[in-house]
Structures are given as structure tokens and as C-alpha cells.
Amino acid sequence: MLADIAVLTGAQVILEEVGLKLDSIDLDVLGQADRVVITKDETTIINGAGSKDEIDGRIAQIKAEIDNTDSDYDTEKLQERLAKLSGGVAVLKVGAATEVELKEKKHRIEDAVSTTKAAIEEGVVAGGGVTLLRAQQAVQELAETLVGDEATGARIVAKALEAPLTQIAENAGLEGGVIVSKVRALKNPNEGLNAATNEYEDLVAAGIIDAAKVTRSALQNAASIAALFLTTEAVITDAPVSSTISSPDMGGMDF
């Protein structure tokens, strides 16, 4: 990490291994940046003065390390370093008329930043529920190779993969089952329903994308929760409230 910071700011890491000692250095070994924000949890460097060629070289080195490691932990940490070197830094200034509106905007921006970080880590896929629907065929083929409860579970997952697109269509006032059938018949794997225009188009080209990590994690978390329900002997929920309003007693009003 120290070497990454040094490359980003144009500094040199002070190590005896490279012939540098703290008592014998001058200002030439220091790096520069427009701004550095340090908290107890993280450090943010804005517009570091490092050489672009050296930064690109460092990025290439980290990518090579990712390709050569078999450790999931090392891969995760290397991807984090890669994102920090290649992602850049932006300063967002948020304004609003009221505190409630400001908090709502702040939360939306935080969600967007988190999604962007996830996209840097694992890339992006077509949004609008299309990617999950395209994965349905692979799960169905897997179900054919299984037996008993495993086959039933795979078929349940396959059916669940069309639920996001169904809900998007119904939210747009369309028939979910019809839209799923139409999207499934499209040849381009990135084509789907643009719910804002009710048109079928290449969603990636239209900018309708999801972070692959978010899509994967949502499916994994849903499967985890479903498994928890299956292994739980009892589930507690609120009693349904009847929407029928009883008529008031009109005693003495008989004719």
C-alpha cells in the first residue's frame, strides 16, 4: 500500500533496502497532491502528482499479480488496490432546500458510489432483470442433471430468476409474463425492456446496467434466506388485517 501511495503522489518509499534512511532524506522524496483527507478509517488522495506512466505500470503489475494468485483473499485485496489506483477521485457537493431532502439525496449518492465501486471490482451486466433471465437457461439445464430435492431446488431458482423482470414490467403497467416471453425470444443477450419508454433495446448501449457484484450478491443472499426458511421449524409474521369494513349496527331501523 505504501508503494501504491508513493506512485500515486510521485513520492518515494523510505526503506533501507533501497538505500534511503529517514535521517538522510530531503524534500525531493516527498510527493504532492491537491488535497488529502485523512480519517480514522481511510485516507483519500485527490489529484496526486504521480507520473501517469508509473501509475499505469503499477496497475499492470497488480493485474499480473491477480492473474497469478490462487488465493481468494489475495485476489480481493489486489482488486481493492487496483480500484483505488485506476478509479480516480471525485468530490460531490450536494445541496437541498431542506434537511430531509438533503439526507435523501446523500443516501442516493452513497448508494450510487457503492454500486460504482462494485462495478469496478467485478464489471457490469445488462440491467432490467435481463441478465438473470439469460442465466435461467443454464440453471434449467443444470436441473436436468440433478434428481430429487436438488432438481426441485434448481427449478425453483430458475423460476425465481424471471421475477425481477416480471416485477419491472408490472410496475410499468404491463403484463409480466408476456414481457418475459418477449425478452426471452430476443436474440441479443443485452436486449430487454426499457421500462421508461416501453421499448425493447440494447440496455447496455442505453446505459441501463447493473454492477455484476450487486446482481450476484442479491441472488446469493436470496438463496441464503430461502435456505434459512427451509431449515426453520416455525416462522412468525404479522396477522393479516382484513380490508372489509363492517357496517355499523342499525338496530331499530327495520321497515
pLDDT (tens digit, 9 = 90+) per residue, 51-80?
A: 888 888 888 998 899 989 888 888 888 888
What SS3 class is residue 172? coil
Contact yes or no for 33/45 (Cβ under 8 A): yes
Residue 255: the pLDDT is 47
Tell me: the pLDDT tens digits for 221-233?
999 988 888 888 7
Q: Can you give the pLDDT at residue 202?
A: 92
Q: What are phi and psi for residue 191, nearest 5 degrees?
A: -80, 145
Structure pTM?
0.60
Task: Give the 3-state DSSP-derived string for 157-179, with helices as H, strands as E and coil as C.
Answer: HHHHCCHHHHHHHHHCCCCHHHH
Angle 87-90-91 from CA coordinates, rounded to 5°? 155
Question: Of 157, 177, 160, 159, which Cα lies nearest the Cα of 169?
Answer: 177
How far are the Cα atoms of 158, 243, 244 from residue 219, in angstroms, in the given order?
11, 34, 37
Amino acid identity for residue 247 in this structure: S
Q: What letter does residue 238 receive in the DSSP assignment?
A: P
Q: What is the mean pLDDT of residues 213-218?
A: 92
Element counts in the chain: helices (H) and strands (E): 9, 6
Domains of the chain listed by start with CATH number: 2-91 (3.50.7.10), 125-230 (1.10.560.10)
Among 39-43, 95-99, 147-151, 242-246, where is mean pLDDT lowest? 242-246
**Whole-number Cα distances in Å, 119 to 52, 91, 126, 201:** 23, 19, 12, 22
CA 82 to chain centre: 17
Q: Which three cell numbers stand for residue 98?
A: 431542506
Cα atoms in the Cβ-side hemisphere of radius 13 Å centred on 173: 3
pLDDT tier, 239 (very low <50, low <70, confident <90, very high otherwise): confident
Question: Quick one: what percent of the chain has pLDDT higher than 70?
Answer: 93
State the pLDDT at residue 17: 75
